[in-house]
Structure 1
Amino acid sequence: MELRSAGIPVEAREEVSPSAGDNEYESLPPGVSPLTHMMAGALAGILEHTVMYPVDSVKTRMQSLQPNPRAQYKGITEALGKIIRTEGLLTPLRGINVTILGAGPAHALYFACYEKMKTTVGEMINHSGNSHVANGVAGSLATLLHDAVMNPAEVVKQRMQMYNSPYRSMLHCIQTVRQTEGVGAFYRSYTTQLFMNIPFQAIHFITYEFTQEQLNPQRQYHPTSHIVSGAIAGAVAAGATTPLDVCKTLLNTQENMALSSMNISGHLSGMVNTFRTVYQLGGLAGFFKGVQARVVYQMPSTAIAWSVYEFFKYFLTNRNTSGSH
């Protein structure tokens, strides 16, 4: 999911099979509080972003337009080894603290907003609270909120992940960016992030649902199918949206050496200018820099997020059913 890049998919799917009425697992109990959704969302989001964090650092490095030969990498394993060997064992983890601080509240708000708006909009449409349109609207609103919280964290994280980063710590990066570029620097890539997450989530949901229909047609709690479906969905969505992720990285990092080579003064802004810059510096291949690392990062991350959420639904539903008996 990008479960973000992108935001956590938390769709409580409605069944269309004859047995759906007998399988209450697919819908969360109506009495679950927003705080419960937020706790589950925070846990899933933190796990998603941290388990494969070193690979995310490699992805950022490989997407970089940095011309320095020392910052050129041929593959994930080679890049990790080179970074650790030349820059230190903990370098691939630089920025993980700001990721944890951002992912927790961002995904918590995503969960709470999604579940609330899904029911509210669904009741407005057909009075039943069950509507694919409502799910789509709720997901879009939740993504807007999620990215508004997560975008500043992404800016700081990627600047600390870059080769030869001048920032000593998370706080030093925040203070420096605010003083030299203004608060708006933390949201330069917000529009690009949204444009990336919309197709990412669409591709991701469709792929996950299709794979679940093949592996788990009865939609029972089946951890293996959730992990496999999540991994496949994450890989397909990540590969397809890599060009937008490359542009987002450039907007977040504002690589001075690359921009100077094109006589760009000041700071790069806007999707059109960013697309043009990436193409001029790297051609069509430039839009797919780091695609392998992005896919490898997203597969386990998305699988973890889906399995955490599916277990959360299963646990709550069983607890609710036992309580009623």
Structure 2
Amino acid sequence: MLPPDHDSARPPAHDHALPNPIVPVEEEDDDEFDYEALPKNTTLASNLIAGAFAGIMEHTVMYPVDAIKTRMQVVAIGGTSYTGISNAITRISANEGARALWRGITSVALGAGPAHAVYFSVYEYTKQVFGGNEGVGYHPIATSFAGACATTASDALMNPFDVIKQRMQLAGSRFANIGACASSIYRTEGFSAFYISYPTTLMMNIPLTAINFTSYEALSKLMNPQRKYDPLTHCVAGGLAGAVAAAATTPLDVIKTFLQTKGTSTDAEIRHSRSLVDAARIIYKREGARGFMRGLKPRIVANMPSTAICWTSYEMAKFYLYKSSA
């Protein structure tokens, strides 16, 4: 029989061996979970800053490709046709100068900051309310609802800036600045012109956001199960999510562009269209089903890296805000 002091000596040795591998893992998991949701004491201002930073980065870096997408979608209702992205860049640069590809970027820069600040703030808040941050599992329904709430709020701010941007992106735009463009639209078409595409924008952006956010969350959890700050993972997951969302919602984007630029057309039927249904009918009558896929390639080319930039920028801002408030 073993002496009592031998038996009593074994548990302490066993207890001493366990804490080393366990304690660091638990602490790391807690830190990573807090990072994903941001600390509970994080202020609204922090969410606003992170969102604004992400929005400005997203919309400005790939702006020239977005301008080409607008041009290619507008030619669906008549005008000069481009055979592809490279052809569009060459012809626009040769005929109007390379600066034409950046026309209207001020409108995006001014609108994207506050709109995306609201976007990500509403997203973080409603995701928490819907239970999207509970545990470490995947919550696609909560994420989708949060994304829908976020885009409804942000598009209300961004829609007028988007209208101004697209008017200035068109060939032969005569506006010297966004103030002149906004004044002209208001004077000739009224205040409603800034929001005529808002219902269509919501119909496009709610599914786009739902696809974008749920795809990003799913890909992030698949590629980064430890939920650590990893810029490469955020970039790849964001880019793939953006490509899928852009492709799925291109038909509605064509209709949105139609409504936002119809005021520049000399075609009476186009100018008098008032709704998504009117726009869809005209596009289908003149172009057929393929007219709804105008600008698909440049939309994906623009949205894939811009969404990757947006998510990477946002996660970076969250990470450094987390470190500063931890």
TM-score, length basis structure 2: 0.83
Q: Deviations over 1:28-64 (max 9, x none)?
A: 0011111111111111101100001000000000101
Query: Max radius of gyration: which structure?
Result: 2
Residues 239-292 of structure 1, C-alpha deviation per residue, up to 9 Å, x if partnerless?
1100000000000000654x72xx517432211111111111211111011100
Counterpart amino acid of residue 28 in structure 1: L
Which residue does 2:226 correspond to in 1?
A: 218
In structure 2, what is the equivalent of residue 67 of structure 1?
Answer: 78
1:13-24 aligned within 5 A: 21=30, 23-24=32-33
Offset of residue 136 of structure 1: 4.2
Paired residue secondary structure (1:23): helix
Instruction: Deviation per CA, 1:56-101: give whole Å up to 9, x if none.
Output: 0000001013533xx3111111111110111012100000001111
Indicate conservation of the 8 Å contact 1:43/1:104, yes or no. yes
Q: Is residue 50–residue 96 contact of structure 1 (8 Å, CA) maintained in 2?
A: yes
Whole-angstrom distance in 2 between the partners of 1:122 and 1:234: 24
Mapping 1:215-294, distance limit 5 Å = 215-254=223-262, 257=265, 260=267, 264=269, 266-294=271-299
Q: 2:269 is paired with a residue of what secondary structure?
A: coil
Matched, 1:189 2:166: no
Number of matched residues? 294
1:130-141 counterparts in 2 under 5 A?
Answer: 135-141=143-149
CA distance, structure 1, for counterparts of residue 218 and residue 145 of structure 2: 21
Q: 1:41-52 to 2 correspondence within 5 Å?
A: 41-52=51-62
- d(CA) in 1 for partners of 2:143 and 2:287? 38
- Aligned alpha-carbon RMSD (Å): 2.4
Whether the aligned pair in 2 keeps the contact of 1:66 and 1:255 (CA below 8 Å) is: no
Equivalent residue in structure 2 for 1:145, among 122, 145, 153:
153
Partner amino acid, structure 2, of 1:287: F
Greater CA drift, 54-63 or 24-33: 24-33
Greater Cα shift, 43-52 or 130-139? 130-139
The answer for the alignment partner of 1:106 in structure 2 is 115
- Once structures 1 and 2 are overlaid, which stretch shifts more, 285-294 or 161-170? 161-170
Structure-to-structure mapping, 1:1-40, within 5 angstroms: 21=30, 23-24=32-33, 25-40=35-50
Question: Alpha-carbon deviation of 1:166?
Answer: 3.5
User: How far apart in 2 are the matches of 1:219 and 1:39?
Assistant: 22
Report the Cα distance in structure 2 between the residues aligned to 1:204 and 1:134, rounded to whole angstroms.
Answer: 13
Aligned to 1:83: 92
Compared CA separation, residues 93 and 300, structure 1 to 2 (3 A): same
Instruction: Say whether 1:208 aligns with 2:216.
Output: yes
Unpaired stretches in structure 1, ≥5 consecutive residues: 1-18
**Match for residue 300 of structure 1 among 305, 312, 326:** 305
Worse overlay, 71-80 or 174-183: 71-80
Please tell me the residue identity of whatever aligns with 1:75: G
Counterpart CA distance in 2 for 1:239 and 1:34 is: 33
**Sequence identity of aligned pairs in percent?**
45
For 1:298-321, what per-residue CA distance to the aligned partner results, in whole angstroms no more than 9, with x for missing partners?
Answer: 111001111111122222333344
Report the TM-score when normalising by structure 1.
Answer: 0.83
Of Structure 1 and Structure 2, the greater helix share is in: 2
Separation of aligned partners in 1, 2:49 and 2:194:
26
User: Is the 2:144–2:214 Cα contact (8 Å) retained in structure 1?
Assistant: no
Of the two structures, which has the highest relative contact order with CA contacts closer than 8 Å and spacing of 6 or more?
Answer: 1
Residues 7-45 of structure 1: per-residue CA shift (max 9 Å, x gap): xxxxxxxxxxxx855633222001111111111111110
Contact 2:145–2:210 (Cα < 8 Å) also in 1: no
